[in-house]
Amino acid sequence: MSYYFGEQSWPQLEEAIRKNTLVIIPVGTTEEHGRHLPVETDAIIAKMYGDAIADALTKEDIHVLLTRPIYYGYSMNIVTRWPGTLKIRTRVFMDYIYDMISALMKQGFKKVALLDCHGNHDGLLRTVMREIADEHDNFICTLAPSKLSRPVYNKLKKDPEGDIHGGEWETSMVLAYRPELVNTAEYTQVDAIKCNNELRGPVSTWGLQETKTGLFGDPTYATAELGKACLEAGTAASVRILKQFMERV
Ligand SMILES: [Zn+2]
């Protein structure tokens, strides 16, 4: 049986509510990712993780439904310098996600998990998580599979400086899933990261280094193997956390 939320009939959803089914919402966005990656990169990664996590949980006999990815969200103005960034204002984005979850809860779903697959959404999604708890007295789960894959990424990566936007990591993820969408002829090193210091974190990285082509990293190191390893690691860690969420919260 399909685990896609939108492929169920309402009687099937009624049954899913009765079984206390987990609803997973992968959250990506659409924004420029340099000259070599598609603008849907974050949404593609959200779908990769959503499918892999739903698959793994289903195999462990956990009732799960997966919504289609959220394709549009908040991006900083810096990335609107290039075509393809469909910027949604923070409050509109938060209200949209809030209303989706609120609707699920009014129908009787109690378990909801957001997969955060876009760097600019972390604070926004966590605020929605708190607002939902205030309103519905029900704690949802917000996790970022890519952050959970970091130990494996740090072990395997070839770029000592890492990746922020469209470099080794993100390019590897798309190479692992939709290689035909990666234009390797457009790889460039002009936006390799040079701002790794104590300010990275306390200050948005976009404010620490100017980007020339919309990238923040070096895609020339990317491989499909790295993407597959990060997908597996992020999926395994997410599954472990979601199983605990289903049992304990
Ligand atoms: Zn991205």
Question: Ligand 1 centre and the CA of 108: distance in Å?
Answer: 33
- Domains in the chain, start-ordered, CATH in brackets? 5-248 (3.40.50.10310)
Predicted pLDDT at 200:
87
Check residue 1 and give its pLDDT: 80
Neighbour-count burial of 180, counting CB atoms closer than 10 A to its CB (0-12 exposed, 13-18 middle, 19+ buried): exposed
Cβ contacts of 115 within 8 Å, gap of 6 or more: 24, 25, 26, 27, 46, 49, 50, 53, 143, 144, 145, 238
Q: How far is the CA of 180 from the centre of ligand 1 (A)?
A: 17
The set of residues, in sequence order, having a beta carbon less than 8 Å from that of 64 and lying 6+ positions away, is 3, 21, 22, 23, 24, 54, 57, 58
Task: Quote the pLDDT of residue 249.
Answer: 80
CA–CA separation, 231 and 90 (whole Å): 28
Output the CA 208–ligand 1 centroid distance in Å: 18
Please give the average pLDDT of every successive group of 10 residues along the chain, which has 249 residues. 96 98 98 98 98 98 98 96 96 98 98 97 97 97 97 96 95 97 98 91 89 96 98 98 94
Ligand 1 geometric centre to CA of 33 (Å): 7
- Provide the residues around ligand 1 (an ion) whose CB is within 5 A: 41-42
pTM over 0.75: yes
Which helix (H) or strand (E) is 26 found in, with range?
Answer: strand 22-27
Question: Minimal CA–CA distance to 213: which of 196, 190, 194, 185?
Answer: 190
Q: How far apart are CA 68 and CA 194, in angstroms?
A: 36
Q: 241 alpha carbon to ligand 1 midpoint, in Å?
A: 23
Task: Give the Cα separation of 180 and 125 in Å (integer).
Answer: 31
- Tell how far the Cα of 169 is from the centroid of ligand 1, in angstroms: 9
* Six-digit token string for 128: 């929605």
Cα–Cα nearest to 148, from 212, 238, 65: 238
Residue 44 CA, ligand 1 centroid: distance in Å: 9
CA 118 – ligand 1 centroid, Å: 6
pLDDT of residue 133: 98
Give residue 111 CA to ligand 1 midpoint distance, Å. Answer: 27
HSE at residue 62, side-chain half, CA atoms within 13 A, is 22
pLDDT at 95: 98
